[in-house]
Structure 1
Amino acid sequence: MKTKALSLLFIILSMLHIDATASSKVSIRGIVIEKENGNALSYATICLADADNKTICGTTSSDDGAFVLSTDAAGNFILKVSFIGFLDTIIPITLENSITSIDVGKIPLISSQSNLTSAVVTAKVPVIEQKLDKIVMNVSESVATQGSNALEVLRKAPGVSVDPSGNILLNGNSVQVWIDGRPSNLSGEELQILLSGTDGSSIDKIEIIAHPSAKYDASGSGGIINIKTKKNFAKGLNGSLKGSYNISPNDKPLNQTNGALSLSYRNDKSNTSINYSADYKESYEKITSSTIFGENRALKGNTGSNWINSNNLIRINRDQFLDKKNIAGFVINAMKSNTKSNLGTNTWNKLYINGDLANTTTTRNDGKDSYGYINANLNYTHIIRDGDEFTINADWGNYDIDKDADQKNTSISPDGGILDRHRFRTNSEQGINIYSLRVDHQQKILGKLMGEAGFKWARSITDNNLLMENLIDGFWQKDNGQSSLFSYNEDITALYATLAGQAGTKWNFKGGLRAEHTSSKGEWISTGTSTSANYIDLFPTLFAGYNPSADLRLGLSYSTRIKRPNFRQMNPFRMYIDASSSIEGNPELTPEKTNTFSLSAGYKNHFNLALTGQFTKNVIIQSPFIDTQSGERIIKWDNFGKQSFTGASISTSEYPLSSWLTFNGNLFIAQVSNKSNEYKNESLFSNGYFNLTFMLPKDYKAELTGFYQSGIPYGKFDIDPTGQIDAGIKKNFAQNKAQISLMFYDIFKTLSTTAKYSEPDGTEYIFENKFSNQRIALSFTFRFGQGKAYRSRKVGNLEEASRVGTQN
């Protein structure tokens, strides 16, 4: 059945395909390269002009140096190719009605500094680019990436934030995080571990795809964030070595070290790369809470946690160029993370009745967490003809998550007497296997349209085992009520088709439809209960762009997305934080669905404006449940009514304040509404980012960056404002092969999370979470290899696996 459906899509595309001679338009294509070493030049400007030097049309080259221009003009013209740091190249071109396509081949640009022994070419790339279906944040040479990790870099992207559960949000909605065009395979705590262990200086750009096309999985109500790492296209053996040391000036200095090694070897037949990184991090977290409940009862708490975390990540990638039309490759990703934590003597809960202290419960919790995964991908691409290709991806992922905790609670009377002692331990084991197969095909239609069609199948198999034991009279006894055995299996089958093209020289569009069939079953074996689901969803997408002039561009987009609960959110076991706080999953969760509309406008290269409406139902969120007698707090995953964002964002990219100072910024302001049958909360929300880049003498570069997030309703919680200011300076030397940088993160120690929940009956719960984010980082990077000159830019598939989460 799957094969027939896929064949049908390909037949439809083939029937629609008409030879390009039916179009009167002429396409001009080519590739821009450096003459000195043959490397591709991205962001080169290509303009077609007439005899009066009037521009007919223009574009910029892509990452691989390629470009395509389309025009219906006829006559004699010139093709001008320019790039900062290179001499302009002009090519005479004659266009006739009988010609439909011209390939000018490779266009070599000569460096304007070619007389130097070791030229360093500087290309200015906008920090923020607004494209038809995404926002691109270029961070390749940002000082702020030095000594930082991927999570810290991601926090500064336009509209990005992290919620109290550790989920990455875009304009308040959850997203899927991808790396180099493939899903990261993680969510929640494990995604944070991966991003925290990924070297920030290895990132080239961050693509914020708020409205992914039908080609992408529909999962992620806020869209997709794709982190693209740096690539080395020079032939031969090349690489880099990086190390950094961080110190966090808390009551007790906390240390952090990390190192990264990147190697690549490229020749005419293959390209192989190996990336390895390791880090060690000491951190501290403090949570203070206050709960008012029942009749004149209050519970005040303090939780202090010390953490030691170590990560090892490796990525191996190989592409084999079988011939000019066939490429085969594989990608292997593996990670091992170990964490030790303890809640020391500074963890307690105090119960007050009518303002008088009734008892104090102290907690000590020693934990060990182990997380490991391995992902393997096999891929094959066949290029049928120019613009037509066929791709197959097969993926397998295996995840092992183990959590051990030993908790001791002691209840003490106001006069210091021992009222009760309770000790228990938990062991949680989670094993996940994910298999997927994806087939994609793209083909030209009617000579000027581009069609895509594809199929995907994915199977997820999850097993969870939680064992809880109480220490009674010196013997460990199983707690059958709190222990659980839970399994969850899911199959998703999808078909999609898209169509993109241009109408004249000013209009462009892309539309698509994706259909997904989901079949799932969860079994709570320890209680003999089960849940199942079987449904089909349709996800339309639409993008339209209009360029009335060379300086002004307009865009319109619409998309429908879904967020399925991750496997841990559905697992109904309880994870204890302290004597009075715990987090619990919910096997009855249903997917949330989001409809998003956006109207955007851009002016020249510096300003972009977007109006957005985002409407979500069945929001998956954590809701508090408070026992009115004991004050015990259970934070449970639940479906919460509806949520809406209606607002506007404005961004400024590379705006020159002076010859040595540029400004980049983004501001998002929206009216946020959370509604359920018994609850309603509305407020004005804002999220902002800024970057000031100082170009100093002797190749020094300094940056001041920061972000701010206003208060925002989060289900039944109200979250207070937060933000962060960073500053840094870097220096390149040794013919631009070496770099040293110094960064100061969270200068004013303002990054924290404070949330409040209240009910009409007077019940109230407030907590504040502070952690050791303030630190100073010293980093050194050295690049080596057989490539000639190093060019720097100075700038101011397992989608289901992204639901592998361990953060409740």
Structure 2
Amino acid sequence: MKSIILTIMVFVSVLSTAQEKEKLDSIPKKEKTNELQEVAVYGNRKQFIKVDSDKTTVNIKDNPMLSTGNAYEAVKKLPGIISSPTGSLSLNGKGVTIFIDGAPSTLSGTDLENYLSSLPANAIEKVELIYNPGAAFDANASGSVINIITSSKRLKGINASANINYNFNKYQKPSPQILLNGKENSFSWQTMLGYNYIDSEEKSINNQTFTSFNPQKSLNQENFNTDTNRNLYFRVGTNFKLSKISNLLFNYNLNAENDRSIYNSKIGGDISNYFTSGISKTKSTNNEISLQYKTKLDTLGKTLDVVAFTNIFERNPKNISSGTGNTFNNSNIDFALLNTYLKYDFAIPFKKLDLSLSTGGKYNTLKVDNNGLYISDISPNNFTKFDYSENNLAFYAELRKKIKKFNFTAGLRFEDFRVNRNATQIENSVTQTSNIKYNNTNFFPNISALYELVEKVNVSASYSKKIEQPNYNSIDPNNRTNVNQYNASTGNIELKPTYFDNYEFKISALDFVQLGANYTVGKDDTRFIFNANPNELVSNQTTQAFDKIKTFSAFFSFPVPLDYFFKGKVEFQKRMNTIDKMNYIFLNINYVKSNIEGFVLPYGNKAITNYSAQSQFILPWNITNTMTYFILPKGTWEIYGIEKPIQQFDISFNRDFMNKKLKVGLHAFDVFNANEINALISGDNLDTRFFQKRDSRNFRISLTYNFGNLKLEKENTKIDVEKVKSGGGMMK
């Protein structure tokens, strides 16, 4: 720890010296002033990671390790992001909400994961990790926000970029892509067309003990899947500058997927060996349309931002399977989601008072229809219909005030939710109906204070109250495809909204360093779990609510400036202005401890400390080497006991050719094939020890060729896609 502190002190000292030098050099006392201003373009320098008091911004497009895959792969490598054994994401110990260009991602569960996996990372400009969002964000934003900002640069004339990723594992498949963009006078546009074709394998083992039996009974289940994911995506965005003070933006995104999974499973233990095999096919389409109007109302800085957004998502999974003894299970599900919203944001600055006021409102409707037909040897005619509708009306006001070295923020958000859940199940001519309606009206406050200790070093503290509506993936009883007589999978329509109280304290320094802690209390918080009914040998995968989950997290992110030690102080100061030419290691440490009231973990409750690192080395012949590594050690993550560390090491080599027109990359992911999950879950009448291993070790060649005008002209149709005051969907 002493060496870490010393390294940071050296880094801070050198940066402070460089900043003081910049100040002295910028004093207009000689004729060199104009020359210095032309050369010192520090504000436009490449910067892969920037730490602010309220968020961390990570550059994706210019980072070769993050930009060659998809958005989901890139997000999982960001500092402070931890992927749980069940695949859900958290940021510094808190649940996350996903934004894409400020538009809400209403998808959840595997639908959201598949969507992010279909979004190419090289279309992402940067990602903002927002730790404790205020009143301008939807209250339905859980604990933190990941805002994915896609590329907004427009070059004069018509320009293009052709890209292909070729993946090597047991299966070799290409993923081509072309991106066109341009700008002419007051109109700019960008379009992207691409196709992904990925084959993969997954092995899982569940060893389960049914504790309600005397003596206890066990099932040992082994599953092997071969998955094929085919995805066509098309994205187009335009911006028309109506006047000097107003812009009109239009975006349309299409994703069309055609997936297939072939699976085989074996079940043994206290039964005769049972075998099942089958195939599931899923076709889905996702259409997103948004229209945004932005304008400045006067020269004092008042702005108005109006957004209309529609999301149409359809999915049709079909399953055909057979088992030992002429058993069979066929299903056909039709899922449809329609989400629309209209929102406005109004900002009023009072510069003389160092005061600003933001206010706005939103009306959102969400409708889900899911009809499932199930035919098996046990139940020849089983039909389940699920309908969900949600109307959400919201208004907010947020005030920001600066007093000397203090910055204060206080906000209040009003949210009104009107929810209707209806499930009808017909099994062997017997009908069961469940209907849940509720109106949920609440105020959600937030308050924060920031104090500037010295220049570029801030101390901040904040509190916010949030809500999380259960997503359709958790409550839909139709959520079942690959089941048999020993396994079931259903949603929990009885789930209540979760209320969160989020507290955070943090120190941030010099755009790179952060040290802090947060404490979150979630009431009626939900987790994925395996349960069983008493004296039934059937394992049910579902989502369960827990009375209260308290989570404490401490985090520490800092760089190790290798050039200072290996190249000397002078060379280090030069490279500070060209981060893409610097040798460094960026480290992130997270300590997480959760306590669940009213729930006893038979395997104890040991905190975990997650470690991750990203490095960059400039090798001979202008080759850039990047490496990432993370390890989630043994311990207790939420309600899951991790028996073996989860870890992965990736390495990448990249080089530019032909005056940066051609970019070539060689990448290896999970080099040591060590990313696997070994964990425990203790549910009602059932203890489950599960193992999961995907073929995560693969190799990739990436080729990108840019042609057209590569010089970025001054943007007269500036496109601001960072709509950070919008709502979003859950990644749970």
- TM-score band by shorter chain is 0.7 to 0.9
Higher relative contact order, chain-length normalized (CA < 8 Å, sep 6+): 2
Q: Do residues 802 (structure 1) and 720 (structure 2) align?
A: no
Q: Where do 1:180-195 residues align within 5 Å?
A: 180-195=101-116
| Contact 1:128 1:652 survives alignment (8 Å) | no
The residue that corresponds to 1:406 in the other structure is: 320
Q: SS in structure 2 opposite 1:569?
A: helix
The residue that corresponds to 1:391 in the other structure is: 305
Greater displacement, 542-551 / 260-269: 542-551
Aligned counterpart for 2:393 among listed residues 475, 493, 511: 493
The residue that corresponds to 1:101 in the other structure is: none
Q: SS in structure 1 opposite 2:453?
A: coil
The residue that corresponds to 2:273 in the other structure is: 360
Q: Do residues 662 (structure 1) and 584 (structure 2) align?
A: yes
Greater displacement, 190-199 / 276-285: 190-199
The amino acid of 2:650's aligned partner reads D
| Contact 1:494 1:516 survives alignment (8 Å) | yes
Percent identity of equivalent pairs: 21
CA distance in 1, matches of 2:726, 2:284: 19
Q: Compute the displacement of 1:261 (Å).
A: 1.5
Greater displacement, 450-459 / 638-647: 638-647
Q: Compute the displacement of 1:501 (Å).
A: 3.2
The amino acid of 1:137's aligned partner reads V
Aligned counterpart for 2:294 among listed residues 381, 385, 404: 381
Aligned counterpart for 1:751 among listed residues 666, 675, 694: 675
Q: Where do 1:261-410 residues align within 5 Å?
A: 261-293=178-210, 294=213, 295-344=215-264, 347-352=265-270, 358-386=271-299, 387-410=301-324
The residue that corresponds to 2:551 in the other structure is: 645
The amino acid of 2:149's aligned partner reads K
| Contact 1:543 1:558 survives alignment (8 Å) | yes
The residue that corresponds to 2:360 in the other structure is: 454
The residue that corresponds to 1:507 in the other structure is: 406
The residue that corresponds to 1:100 in the other structure is: none
Distance 1:605 1:209, change over 3 A: closer
Deviations 1:651-680 (A, max 9, x none): 113623533631111111132222236668
Q: SS in structure 1 opposite 2:454?
A: coil
The amino acid of 1:642's aligned partner reads K
With structure 1 as the length reference, what TM-score do the two structures score? 0.78
| Contact 1:232 1:238 survives alignment (8 Å) | no
The residue that corresponds to 1:138 in the other structure is: 59
Aligned counterpart for 1:430 among listed residues 322, 335, 341: 335
Q: Do residues 254 (structure 1) and 171 (structure 2) align?
A: yes
Q: Compute the displacement of 1:254 (Å).
A: 2.1
Q: Compute the displacement of 1:532 (Å).
A: 0.7
The residue that corresponds to 1:554 in the other structure is: 459
Deviations 1:284-315 (A, max 9, x none): 01111111233152211100001111011111
Bigger proportion of residues as helix: 2
Distance 1:783 1:111, change over 3 A: farther
Q: Compute the displacement of 1:571 (Å).
A: 1.4
Q: Compute the displacement of 1:615 (Å).
A: 1.6
Aligned counterpart for 1:704 among listed residues 617, 627, 645: 627
Q: Compute the displacement of 1:777 (Å).
A: 0.5
Q: Compute the displacement of 1:800 (Å).
A: 7.0
Q: SS in structure 2 opposite 1:565?
A: coil
Aligned counterpart for 2:688 among listed residues 765, 784, 790: 765
Unaligned runs of 5+ in 2: 1-17, 426-431, 568-581, 715-722
Distance 1:641 1:719, change over 3 A: farther
Q: Do residues 127 (structure 1) and 71 (structure 2) align?
A: no
| Contact 2:103 2:727 survives alignment (8 Å) | no
Q: CA RMSD, aligned part only?
A: 3.0
Q: SS in structure 1 opposite 2:133?
A: coil
Q: Do residues 781 (structure 1) and 704 (structure 2) align?
A: yes
The amino acid of 1:351's aligned partner reads G
The residue that corresponds to 1:29 in the other structure is: none
Q: Do residues 516 (structure 1) and 415 (structure 2) align?
A: yes
The amino acid of 1:384's aligned partner reads L
Q: Do residues 212 (structure 1) and 139 (structure 2) align?
A: no
Q: Compute the displacement of 1:523 (Å).
A: 1.3
The amino acid of 1:176's aligned partner reads T
The residue that corresponds to 1:619 in the other structure is: 525
Unaligned runs of 5+ in 1: 1-44, 56-76, 90-108, 113-120, 353-357, 411-419, 792-796
CA distance in 2, matches of 1:677, 1:268: 63
| Contact 2:649 2:670 survives alignment (8 Å) | yes
The residue that corresponds to 2:381 in the other structure is: 479
Deviations 1:142-167 (A, max 9, x none): 23125322211111112213334443
Q: How many residues align?
A: 676
Deviations 1:9-46 (A, max 9, x none): xxxxxxxxxxxxxxxxxxxxxxxxxxxxxxxxxxxx99
CA distance in 2, matches of 1:800, 1:788: 35
The amino acid of 1:687's aligned partner reads N
Distance 1:650 1:542, change over 3 A: same
| Contact 1:672 1:712 survives alignment (8 Å) | no
CA distance in 2, matches of 1:364, 1:351: 19
| Contact 2:155 2:713 survives alignment (8 Å) | no
Distance 1:214 1:296, change over 3 A: closer
| Contact 1:247 1:255 survives alignment (8 Å) | yes
With structure 2 as the length reference, what TM-score do the two structures score? 0.86
Aligned counterpart for 1:157 among listed residues 78, 100, 107: 78
Q: Compute the displacement of 1:168 (Å).
A: 2.7
The amino acid of 1:370's aligned partner reads K
